[in-house]
Structures are given as C-alpha cells and as structure tokens.
Chains A and B, each alone.
Chain A
C-alpha cells in the first residue's frame, strides 16, 4: 500500500533526523544549491531541479584522512581514521543515488575500501523522485530514470500538500515512523520524459573509435579544470599524499581527475599519457568502455552536470553521438 506524509510531517521527520544523527540535504550556499550538513530544518530546500555538485562527497569526501601518525617514545604509531556517527542524506535525485551504486563496484570490491564501506554502512539514503527533467539530463538512456530507486532506502515523491513515501529497505522502514504516515489517496504523478542519447551499443563503438584524431580534436579546447570529474556522481579516481602540520603527520586522499596533466606521470618524469587527446580519450573510455567491461554498467548516470559545468562545452551526449557515427578504425 502506498503511503503519504504531509509536508508538515516531513518537516517534523527531518527535524527528528537532524536531532538523532547528521542530516545532509540540499541547501542554498551563495548562489548554488549544494548538499550540506543541516543545522536548521528551514534551510532544507525541497524545490530544486538538482544540486550543483553530487552528494558523492558525503561518501567519498573531497579530502579524507586515512590515518594519523603518532610518535610515542621515538616509535611511530598509526591511528586509522574511523567514521563515527550516522548520517541521513535527504533529497538525493535518483541519478545521484544510482551513481552511488557505481562507486560501490570498485570501492566495495575485495579488499573493500574501509572508509567508504563505513560511510556506506552508516548513511541512510533518502531520495526525491524527479517531477521535471533537467534540460541536460539523459538518465533514462543510462540505466536510471526519474523514479529509479537504486541504492535508496526511502523514496519520496512530491504530490499535493505532501509526499508519497516508499520505504525500500529495512533500514529505511525502521527510520520511518508509521505515526507520521497515512494511506495515500493521491495517484502518483507521471514521471517526466528525459531526452534520449544513443547509448545502445556504445561500448563496442568506443573500441572502434579508440584510434584516430577525434580525441585530440575534442581535447584541443579542454583547459584541464577538472570540473567534469568534480561534479560527477560516479568519478572515483583519487590521489594520496602525506600532510605535515606542526609535527603532526597524516595521510590524506583527495579527488583527482584523469584530465590533470600529471595524472599518470611517474618518478623520473616519464608520462605514458602525456598527450592531451589521450587523456580525453581516457575519460570517455573509462566511462563508456573499461568500466562496463570490468563491472557491467556504463559509468555515467546521465545527470548532465558535466555538460552544464564544462567551461568549453565538452558534451558527453555529443561524444556518444559522434562515436556512434564513427566507423571502424583506419
């Protein structure tokens, strides 16, 4: 049976969540809507198309300490970081939740990435289905869609005066008190249609399009700002470095992008991917060829953020069209 929560009860529920655990939700930060820790329920934004960056950073932070080094009697001791406290992320769009299933594939593969696994275990994912499609969105062509519930524990769908509630997992059910709910009397609103992109068979076509001048031409205008990787809900490459501050040492990992000129440069100066076109090809090959071959799904959920954010209009939708049109390599 479909259930309903009034807007007022949703706000009370969010307040309860905020008091019991860390609540992360879309909120206004200057002129952007971003997922941030909520201290006042009024700050939660319920009406938005999608956030400027994905909620990925709450499971895979931009920078995260892996361990601290402590010195005891001249001996070094390593103190591994632990994730304590539970988090509820409210307001995930289905594409971004689908993106989390993509992070799971490499990070939870044995041996699991311990911190990511802890974030995952201690985080409840609450979705908000899409009633309108973002102009650049193409989620339905990428195996997701406005009502996709992948990775979500609870899904809300906005209706008149409130929301339809779908508790998907046990974790979700345990967090949703029946007292706040009533039987749904409204019908589910129709899901919006998203613009199609030619994703069918793209993996085989990428293999054919691998060689040739195309990637260099696309790369010509890239200024390696890395914004595509930073806004992407699925990009998962990282860097690891030691930081020393007033005698305290920690090892930290941080987001990295395959478009960075030094991404593959090794000690001694050799860089097997020094060429900009080869780096551009790596981005799209990883998304549309290698990841699907390694793990199954295409490594893109069609959220459209990289299309919106790219300052030089490199557009994965156009790239898929071009690749589909390209023939066998010369």
Chain B
C-alpha cells in the first residue's frame, strides 16, 4: 500500500551483507518498488533510516554513490538494539528505507582543490562516496589524500578497496591504528597526530572530517594550527534523530536541525551555532 505518510518506509530487500570488520557489516539494499528505483537519487553525505521491523529504525550515512545505479549501501556498526537486529538479518530479508535525508558534502565547491579526507572508525563510511565521486571524476579535483584511522587493523573499514584507491592518480592513502598487532607494519598513532605529522597544507585545500566526536575535536585543533581556515574544514554533526524531517526536534542544535540543515557543516557554520555539539 502506498502512503504519503513520511514515517512509512519504502519496503526494501537486503541483497547482501558483507562483513567489513568484526563489528561492521556493509548492507546492500534494493528498494522493492521498481518505479521508485530510478528516482531514488542521493548525494554523498546524505543518510537514510533503515528499519528492522519489530526493533526500530536508525539513521545511517549512505556509503554508495547514486550515479552508479547500484543498490543502496550502508555500513552498520553493531552498537545498539536496531544495529544488533540488522546484523542478524540474512540476504533476502525485508527491511524498510526512509530518505534520503539531509544536506550533502559540497563536492561542487571541492572542484579544482586539494582534498584531505580524514575518517575515523565507522565515521569513515560516509566519506567513501566522496572518495568514489572524486576518483570517478578525477580530473575535476587536484590532489587527494585519504587518511583512514581505526582502533585496530581489523577495524579499518573498506580495506578491500585500499589498493585501488592508493593506485589512483594523484591519490595518497594513509592508514593509522590506535593499537597494532603482530601483522601490522603500518602507523600506530591517533589521527590528530598523523594530521600534524603529515603537515597538511591548507593551500587551495579542503579538509573533510568524519569520526567520533573526540577525534573530530582534536583533529580540528591540529588543522587550525596548520593554518586551515574555518571555511576550509567540512565535517559532520551527529544527533539523536527520530524523524529526519525536522519535526521530532531531537537533533535540534541552536536554530538548526542536524537532520535537515546538516549533517554536513563547515566549521565556519558550526562556529555560529549557539550550542556546541
């Protein structure tokens, strides 16, 4: 039954569940309604609510890119009841999808610039569509730095794509972990100190950051020390959300709603908010 009720999700089918890390699954989801599929377009940074009926729904940043016309992809870390239920689903299961919601990363403004993508843990997931868009339109952008950090080597998301990314023209991939293991020969350092060590240049650059609040906080400090201006720093705010429509008022911060006015904000925009999230 079709409904104009914005709380009623589109029915969808879980096509595939791929284990990205011990606690993160990548879900590939197809909308059931064939009429809906061609019109369901979205931009990097936008999110959807995914329902596990009987448990509830939660918002997840889309990790896929709309123009590739594949299934919707979200990376889900098992941290609560809804994510726990989603992790138990098998291919073929019915799920609900509402969205897409929110604003998006300003990729048009990134054209002709050097781009530093800095992601921590599951926060790296919504940055993947930014990377894919840049790599698929490589000549539109200058140098690309991808910095992906996680707690341990096993927690680095999208590891199977690292080689492709690293081999792309004018692209540099840096990985770091908080704690290594026997097989890890790479960097062991927190993201903010890697940012300092890499001595990122603010010249004709933007930095795009997503990750846990504490990582974002200290990364911003380092970027500012390196001379990045507030308008050169693009990040995301996280908020408890129940509707995605600016109605439940859960994600209200200052005169903005994270769901509607965000989740993507420049540091310049964030600094004008009365309340700091």
Interface residues of A in 246-281 (CB under 8 A from B): 249, 251, 253, 256, 258, 263-268, 270, 272-273, 278, 281
Expressed in whole angstroms, the Cα–Cα distance for A29 and B48 within the complex equals 44
**Minimum CB–CB distance for B204 against chain A, Å:** 33
Residues in chain B near residue A111, CB distance under 8 A: 4, 6, 245
Q: Does B152 reach chain A (CB closer than 8 Å)? A: no
Q: Does B56 reach chain A (CB closer than 8 Å)? A: yes
Could you tell me if B55 and A242 are in contact, using CB atoms closer than 8 angstroms? yes
Residues in chain A near residue B247, CB distance under 8 A: 106-107, 109, 113, 236, 238
Q: Does B94 reach chain A (CB closer than 8 Å)? A: yes
Residue from the list B4, B212, B246, B275 in contact with A114, Cβ < 8 A: B4
Could you tell me if A267 and B83 are in contact, using CB atoms closer than 8 angstroms? yes
Residues in chain A near residue B209, CB distance under 8 A: none
Could you tell me if B274 and A272 are in contact, using CB atoms closer than 8 angstroms? no
Interface residues of A in 105-141 (CB under 8 A from B): 106-107, 109, 111, 113-115
Could you tell me if A241 and B56 are in contact, using CB atoms closer than 8 angstroms? yes
Could you tell me if B3 and A263 are in contact, using CB atoms closer than 8 angstroms? no
Could you tell me if A266 and B239 are in contact, using CB atoms closer than 8 angstroms? yes
Could you tell me if A114 and B250 are in contact, using CB atoms closer than 8 angstroms? no
Size of A's binding interface in residues, CB under 8 A: 50
Residues in chain A near residue B83, CB distance under 8 A: 267
Expressed in whole angstroms, the Cα–Cα distance for A75 and B12 within the complex equals 10
Binding site of B, secondary structure by majority: helix, strand, loop or mixed? loop
Expressed in whole angstroms, the Cα–Cα distance for A240 and B259 within the complex equals 15
Q: Does B243 reach chain A (CB closer than 8 Å)? A: yes
Could you tell me if A78 and B274 are in contact, using CB atoms closer than 8 angstroms? no
Residue from the list A76, A114, A237, A286 in contact with B53, Cβ < 8 A: A76
Residue from the list A114, A249, A265 in contact with B7, Cβ < 8 A: A114
Could you tell me if B5 and A285 are in contact, using CB atoms closer than 8 angstroms? no
Could you tell me if B239 and A251 are in contact, using CB atoms closer than 8 angstroms? no
Could you tell me if A264 and B274 are in contact, using CB atoms closer than 8 angstroms? no
Interface residues of A in 229-243 (CB under 8 A from B): 236-242
Which B positions have Cβ atoms within 8 angstroms of A?
1, 3-9, 11, 51, 53-58, 77, 79-80, 82-83, 94, 96, 212-213, 238-240, 242-243, 245-255, 274-275, 277
A-B contact pairs, 14 of them (CB 8 A): A76-B11, A76-B94, A81-B5, A113-B245, A210-B274, A241-B56, A253-B248, A263-B240, A263-B250, A267-B80, A267-B83, A270-B212, A272-B238, A290-B252
Known: A80-B3, A238-B248. 9 other contacts (CB 8 A): A67-B5, A78-B96, A111-B4, A114-B7, A237-B248, A239-B242, A270-B212, A272-B253, A294-B255
Which A positions have Cβ atoms within 8 angstroms of B?
66-67, 69, 75-81, 106-107, 109, 111, 113-115, 207, 210, 236-242, 244, 249, 251, 253, 256, 258, 263-268, 270, 272-273, 278, 281-282, 285-286, 289-290, 293-294
